[in-house]
Structure 1
Amino acid sequence: MKNVLRCFGSNLTLNCNRSKVCQLSCEKYSTAAAFKTESRERREKHPYKKIHPWKSFKAFSESLVENVIYNKNGLVALNKPYGIASREKDVNNTKVPYQKESLNKISGAVDYAVSNALPFIADRLGYANLNIVRSPERFMSGVMLLAADESVEKAIIKSQNRAMGFKKIPKTYWIVTTRLPKDTNGIKNVALKLHKSPCKKFERPVIHEKWSNTQEKKGEIKVLNVEYNLLSNSIDNLSALIEIKSSTTKWHAIRLFAATNLLSPILGDRIHAERIQNIMGTLMKVNPFVAAVDRPPRMNKKLLTHLNLSTEMQDIIPVHIHLKRIELSWYFGKNKDLLIEAPLTPEFSWTCQALNFELPRESNFSVENVSTEGQEQQFVQISQ
């Protein structure tokens, strides 16, 4: 009888242990599933995945109106979102573009263009129509200038041409880089030239320190004038926030200059970032046609950690170039300039916070009637 009880007793103990194991196993898998769900939700909420939040074209158009930063006497400026083209693609354009398509991905990207929303914006602002005069390229954000009539458009263009005559660079950009630049500030006068690949099938731009007047007259080179200044280092000195003035953005000139001249590629750049390589511990410019320049940029893992990203997610990083300010020389008459400044976009601002940049105080307003005569300047703040 005792033996029988021992058998049943051991079986009862075994069944009890099995129940506990099953219970612990269920709890373990439930916890793991909850963790995966929480991680998935956390990834979906990443600011880089909310760059295009619009659910409809109307919502997009409304957001453009909300992002108007200047509106006076037919001149309208808005803060163009990242990843939005100024105009629709011309299907009849047979010219081969330098870069056929972007290598950057935007989560939930929309294929809207600002030009399609112009009638809506004009109506909301009380104009018969609006035309785009100046705009950052698609994969930049910042100041976009619109004109309500031909006289305003001519005034903008005249002001820009006058700045060239004054040897002033009217556009100021903010960029975030993946390394500290080799110089904290400087002024450079260089030239861009397209070089054919050894197979003669495609071309890539290269920056030259010297060129001839003949090359410039023939259009073989594009002069690039640059002024840059380091605004802040990031946490752990992994990255930098740089203010840069550039006379052109042709062939992604700012990206190219940052990578090959500052040895500090722009965060999110997948076109020119690998034009410098770490060779035996030294950063060096490499031949633009070697296979290594076509691979995705290799980012510092600490930098990715600060950005709450894994290596697999780095292709959603937006190109961090923001057209911060445009200066229209003598727009209101002799020695009376107009400065228009755009606040940082949400994703750019989030990056600055994540990397702990010390930002200059943002004005986020436009300034008109800036007297440039003599040593004194008078600034007038425009309420938005």
Structure 2
Amino acid sequence: MRTILTPEMGGYRVWGQVWGGCRQGLGICAVPKAAGFGTEARHQLQSRGSSKRLGSLGDKPFRRLLQPENLSREELVDVLREAVVDQKGPLVTLNKPQGLPVTGKPGELTLVSVLPELSQCLGLGERELQVVRASGKETSGLVLLSSCPQTASRLQKFFTHSQRARKPTATYCAVTDGIPAASEGKIQAALKMEHTDGASLVVPVKSPSRKDFLKGVKWTLSHFRVLASGSGCALVQLQPLTAFPSQLQVHMVLQLCPVLGDHKYSACVGTVLGQRFLLPAENTKPQRQVLDEALLSRLHLTPAQAAQLPLHIHLHRLHLPGTRPRDAPIELLAPLPSYFSRTLQCLGLQYQ
């Protein structure tokens, strides 16, 4: 089986016509293009049951979170089967829960490790699924799977071309602790991966030299736009224009607005007398995110519960090419997880 992955990119939802290299093609339905989040996208952002009273969550605000380590292979296949958004032709799309790794070490329970069983469960027979696009373990959002290598290759070429042309194809939602100084803009940073004490961390590089780039430093670029703000937090739209592990998390840290649930990089933002500043990433060890008492009260969380807060980055929307060269681009949407909607409700983050 061949798996094609791109860091921090997401998946898809499919509907109605034919697109792709295999006989059955890909079913999709165009959504009119609009700046930012359109009306339909706003509705899609609200997960089912988001209007329930906060008190109904009781002492377990994250009770629906997936814990792969507690599941058998059969149970994980059942979870993924229920997460399928659509299945048309060679393509299967599902809304990946936060916390599910796509790949891992031999013997670990991951999405890729159970694809043979999932293929059988979905009636694909010998046509085993492969990953076309998926986000990272801690990120929720849609994943696109294909049982047709030609279709997978064709879609992958589209995403590769779009990335080289700096055309965004993925739109994420994030909730940040802090409000960006500008309501919209681009974040550019040179990043590198460092491996220390058995952990891998992404760190920014100031004024990188040509030698740095030869050693693995990459220029990264993301577009951001604040959709709503309140209670010292913001709902932010993020569009990565490059692909690098943890790119969105690190970019928001550079804005001094770490993503809620970022227990890896948020410690790089310090505070003195109410003013935030950036700590050297090389000298800052990852730790559980610390939220102030006012925010904890707003979120109806205890410090112990906040230590389990999931990362609030969700792949909400993707663009695909039209079925024919002259057709309009297609938007694919995914609803938010219940914990994400709960957070928006607690913070009173509404669209204007």
Secondary structure of the equivalent of 2:258?
Answer: coil
Closer, same or farther: CA 166–202 of 1 in aligned 2, 3 Å: closer
Long gaps (5+) in structure 1: 1-40, 92-110, 361-384
Contact preservation (8 Å) 1:207, 1:257:
no
Alignment of 1:1-384 (within 5 A): 45-52=59-66, 57-90=73-106, 112-127=109-124, 128-194=127-193, 204-208=201-205, 210-211=207-208, 215-216=212-213, 218-234=214-230, 237-248=231-242, 250-260=244-254, 262-290=255-283, 293-329=285-321, 332-333=324-325, 336-359=328-351
Contact preservation (8 Å) 1:186, 1:228:
yes
Secondary structure of the equivalent of 1:48?
Answer: coil
Contact preservation (8 Å) 1:182, 1:264:
no
Tell me by how many angstroms 1:264 deviates: 0.5
Secondary structure of the equivalent of 2:155?
Answer: helix
Contact preservation (8 Å) 1:74, 1:149:
yes
Tell me by how many angstroms 1:131 deviates: 0.8
Tell me by how many angstroms 1:346 deviates: 1.6
Contact preservation (8 Å) 1:68, 1:78:
yes
Secondary structure of the equivalent of 2:329?
Answer: strand
Tell me by how many angstroms 1:238 deviates: 2.2
Aligned residues: 294
Closer, same or farther: CA 312–201 of 1 in aligned 2, 3 Å: closer
* 2:115 aligned partner, one-letter code: L
* 1:79 aligned partner, one-letter code: N
Contact preservation (8 Å) 2:189, 2:251:
no
Cα deviations by residue, 1:58-88 (Å, 9 ceiling, x for unpaired): 4442332232224333122210001111134
Please report the TM-score for the alignment, with normalisation by the length of structure 1.
0.67
* 1:324 aligned partner, one-letter code: H
Cα deviations by residue, 1:312-352 (Å, 9 ceiling, x for unpaired): 32211101111112223456545553432211112212222
Contact preservation (8 Å) 2:66, 2:100:
no
Closer, same or farther: CA 59–299 of 1 in aligned 2, 3 Å: same
What is the distance in 2 between the residues matched to 1:155 and 1:238?
A: 43
* 2:249 aligned partner, one-letter code: R
Greater RCO (CA < 8 Å, at least 6 residues apart): 2
Cα deviations by residue, 1:129-188 (Å, 9 ceiling, x for unpaired): 211121111111101111111101101211111212432122211111111122221023
Residue equivalent to 2:46: none
Closer, same or farther: CA 349–249 of 1 in aligned 2, 3 Å: farther
Identity %: 23
Q: Structure 1 stretch 187-196 or stretch 343-352: which is displaced more?
A: 187-196
Closer, same or farther: CA 185–334 of 1 in aligned 2, 3 Å: same
What is the distance in 2 between the residues matched to 1:204 and 1:114?
A: 23
What is the distance in 2 between the residues matched to 1:209 and 1:70?
A: 44
Contact preservation (8 Å) 2:179, 2:233:
yes
Secondary structure of the equivalent of 1:167?
Answer: coil
Closer, same or farther: CA 329–190 of 1 in aligned 2, 3 Å: farther
Tell me by how many angstroms 1:208 deviates: 4.2
What is the distance in 2 between the residues matched to 1:271 and 1:344?
A: 22
Larger radius of gyration: 1
**Which protein is richer in helix relative to its size?**
1
Tell me by how many angstroms 1:114 deviates: 1.9
Secondary structure of the equivalent of 1:257?
Answer: helix
What is the distance in 1 between the residues matched to 2:321 and 2:92?
A: 17
Closer, same or farther: CA 211–274 of 1 in aligned 2, 3 Å: same
* 1:162 aligned partner, one-letter code: H
Tell me by how many angstroms 1:240 deviates: 1.0
Closer, same or farther: CA 212–239 of 1 in aligned 2, 3 Å: same
Tell me by how many angstroms 1:46 deviates: 1.9
What is the distance in 2 between the residues matched to 1:125 and 1:283?
A: 50
What is the distance in 2 between the residues matched to 1:215 and 1:336?
A: 41
What is the distance in 1 between the residues matched to 2:195 and 2:340?
A: 35
